[in-house]
């Protein structure tokens, strides 16, 4: 129906009930409501975005992981591609007695002063090591800072055993 008060289309009978000022108020309300809904949708979309994580190719994994569960191989792939994410996170499985210095040590070990690393088989059989790495992956995807991740890991896993002597992440 064409509205007599402005030449626009409006719901039937709206002009008969509302005067011009009320129609303007109604249209403003509808626009504000639409903007509010659109803004809320953008906010939800922004908050739910997850960072993508690099994972090393599965082909780069050693043979001892061939029959390992996906959760374990994913943790190894994450450690290989993101060593910096795990080197400031302690492990609480008791592996400090094995000379480990961080959760990264459970997956990869130094082979010498040249910066080269080799796979460590320890995490393949240790649920705590894998759980910590999986939590670091999840929190990294959620956009958490290294200090926040460290705080979470310390609070969550400290009851399991002594921590490795791992330096705090830089701020």
Q: Against a cut of 0.75, is the pTM above it? A: no
Q: What is the pLDDT of residues 21-72, one digit of tens each?
A: 777 787 888 888 888 888 777 776 655 545 578 999 999 999 999 999 999 9
Q: What is the pLDDT of residues 98-107, one digit of tens each?
A: 999 999 999 9
Q: Give the burial class of 32: count Cβ atoms within 10 A of its Cβ; 0-12 exposed, 13-18 middle, 19 or more buried.
A: exposed
How far apart are the C-alpha atoms of 116 and 168, rounded to whole Å? Answer: 23
Contacts for 117 with CB less than 8 Å, ≥ 6 apart: 83, 108, 109, 110, 111
Q: What is the DSSP code (8-state) at residue 166?
A: -
**Which tokens hold the place of 141?**
């995807």
Among candidate residues 113, 91, 111, the one with its CA nearest the CA of residue 102: 91
**pLDDT of amino acid 59:** 95
Helices assigned H by DSSP within the chain? 14-17, 20-48, 70-81, 83-86, 127-141, 146-157
Q: What is the pLDDT of residues 70-97, one digit of tens each?
A: 999 999 999 999 999 999 999 999 999 9
How far apart are the C-alpha atoms of 59 and 77, rounded to whole Å? Answer: 10
**Between 115 and 75, where is the model more confident?**
75
**pLDDT of amino acid 1:** 44
β-strand partners of 108 = 119
Of 45-59, 113-127, 135-149, the range with the lowest mean pLDDT is 45-59
How far apart are the C-alpha atoms of 8 and 58, rounded to whole Å? Answer: 62
Q: Give the burial class of 76: count Cβ atoms within 10 A of its Cβ; 0-12 exposed, 13-18 middle, 19 or more buried.
A: buried
> Quick one: how far is CA 96 from the chain centroid?
27
Q: What is the mean pLDDT of the chain?
A: 86
**pLDDT of amino acid 166:** 96
**pLDDT of amino acid 10:** 57
């Amino acid at each position: 129906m064409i509205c007599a008060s402005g030449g626009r289309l409006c719901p039937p009978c709206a002009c008969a009930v509302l005067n011009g000022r009320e129609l303007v108020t109604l249209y403003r309300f509808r626009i504000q409501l639409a903007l509010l809904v659109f803004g809320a949708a953008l906010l939800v979309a922004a908050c739910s975005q997850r960072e993508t994580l690099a994972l090393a190719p599965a082909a780069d994994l050693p043979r001892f992981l061939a029959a390992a569960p996906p959760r374990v191989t994913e943790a190894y792939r994450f450690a290989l591609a993101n060593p910096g994410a795990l080197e400031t996170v302690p492990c609480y499985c008791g592996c400090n007695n094995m000379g480990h210095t961080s959760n990264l040590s459970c997956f990869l070990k130094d082979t010498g002063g040249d910066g080269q690393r080799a796979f460590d088989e320890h995490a393949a059989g240790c649920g705590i090591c894998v759980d910590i790495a999986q939590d670091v992956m999840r929190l990294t995807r959620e956009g958490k800072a290294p200090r926040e991740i460290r705080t979470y890991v310390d609070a969550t896993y400290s009851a399991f055993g002594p921590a490795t002597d791992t330096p705090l992440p830089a701020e």
